[in-house]
């Protein structure tokens, strides 16, 4: 009887696995990043290129699923090659990776609002109180920002044909060029017209409008007073960081920030 119970339990668990526990195929393409680094935006950009319909928060899971939202048994129903979203630190099973890196100061601010929206931190917490825990990677299981980034960058030179590094700031400044490079890396060719159309459909203004229309449905049980799609700004962090905050993040992240050419000045 115990063996039967274990088999049933394992079967159920296997079907319901999420996150790092999902089954990964050699042909999978993983859109990987630390949280709040532009992954959702990139999913919209690519989704609006490869699908026959306009992407929204209802149908994105049918095109580029999030491994933390879609169960393993559902993921296995997708046609190969699958394109999937991940925030995991280095996983050797990921054979083809687009890794998005963003200035950790911007990540910290965006994550601050995200955690408040999803009621994972007190709405009255001050940014300076939150920041040390963010730096330590206390709010998720993906490691700290520097650990996550370094885990992937450390293997980048050994996987030149399988690893594409994208800076969020470059994607924002020159979306057309970066998106075109991403699609070449993925082995897909699209006309300039199609790429520009996808960019238009995935603009922050458009995404904010899509979110607003069904916010109570797609983001139920969250703080609807805080938007999921915010500004996407690369400079907003300056409004939040005190001199002490800035010193704290530089004391921990300077090496990695230098690696990507981020300006260390406040």
For residue 9, pLDDT beyond 50: no
- Model pLDDT, residue 263: 93
Tell whether the model's pLDDT for residue 20 goes beyond 60: yes
Residue with the larger pLDDT of the pair 234 and 49? 49
Q: Other C-beta atoms within 10 Å of 136: how many?
A: 12
- Give dist(CA 193, CA 145) in Å, integer: 36
Tell me the pLDDT tens digit for each residue of 190-199. Answer: 999 999 999 9
Q: Which fold has domain 25-259?
A: Rossmann fold (3.40.50)
Compute the distance between CA of residue 178 and CA of residue 180 in angstroms, rounded to an integer: 5
Beta strand 163-167 with 96-101: parallel, antiparallel or unpaired?
A: parallel
176 pLDDT higher than 80 = yes
Cβ neighbours of 48 (radius 10 Å): 22
Categorize the per-residue pLDDT at 8 as very low, low, confident or very high, splitting at 50, 70 and 90.
very low
| Predicted local confidence at residue 3, as pLDDT | 47
Domain ranges, ordered by start, for the chain: 25-259
pLDDT cut 90: percent of the chain above it = 74
pLDDT interval class at 132 (50, 70, 90) = very high
| Residue 212, pLDDT score | 83
Q: What is the pLDDT of residue 14?
A: 55
């Amino acid at each position: 009887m115990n063996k039967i119970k274990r088999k049933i339990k394992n079967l159920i668990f296997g079907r319901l696995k999420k996150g790092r526990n999902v089954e990964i195929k050699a042909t999978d393409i993983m859109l990987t990043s630390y949280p709040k680094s532009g992954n959702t935006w990139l999913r919209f950009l690519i989704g609006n290129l490869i699908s026959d319909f306009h992407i929204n928060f209802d149908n994105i899971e049918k095109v580029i699923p999030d491994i933390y939202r879609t169960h393993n048994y559902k993921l296995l129903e997708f046609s190969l090659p699958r394109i999937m979203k991940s925030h995991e630190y280095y996983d050797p099973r990921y054979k083809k990776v687009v890794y998005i890196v963003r200035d950790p100061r911007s990540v910290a601010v965006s994550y601050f609002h995200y955690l408040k929206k999803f009621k994972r931190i007190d709405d009255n917490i001050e940014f300076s109180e939150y920041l040390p825990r963010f730096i330590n990677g206390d709010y998720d299981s993906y490691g700290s920002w520097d650990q996550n980034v370094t885990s992937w960058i450390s293997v980048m030179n050994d996987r030149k044909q399988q690893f594409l590094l994208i800076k969020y700031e470059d994607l924002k400044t020159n979306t057309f060029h970066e998106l075109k490079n991403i699609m070449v890396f993925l082995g897909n060719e699209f006309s300039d017209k199609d790429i520009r159309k996808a960019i238009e459909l995935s603009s922050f203004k458009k995404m904010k409008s899509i979110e607003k229309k069904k916010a109570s449905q797609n983001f139920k049980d969250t703080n609807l007073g805080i938007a999921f799609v915010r500004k996407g700004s690369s400079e907003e962090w300056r409004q939040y960081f005190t001199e002490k905050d800035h010193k704290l993040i530089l004391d921990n992240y300077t090496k990695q920030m230098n690696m990507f050419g981020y300006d260390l000045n406040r």
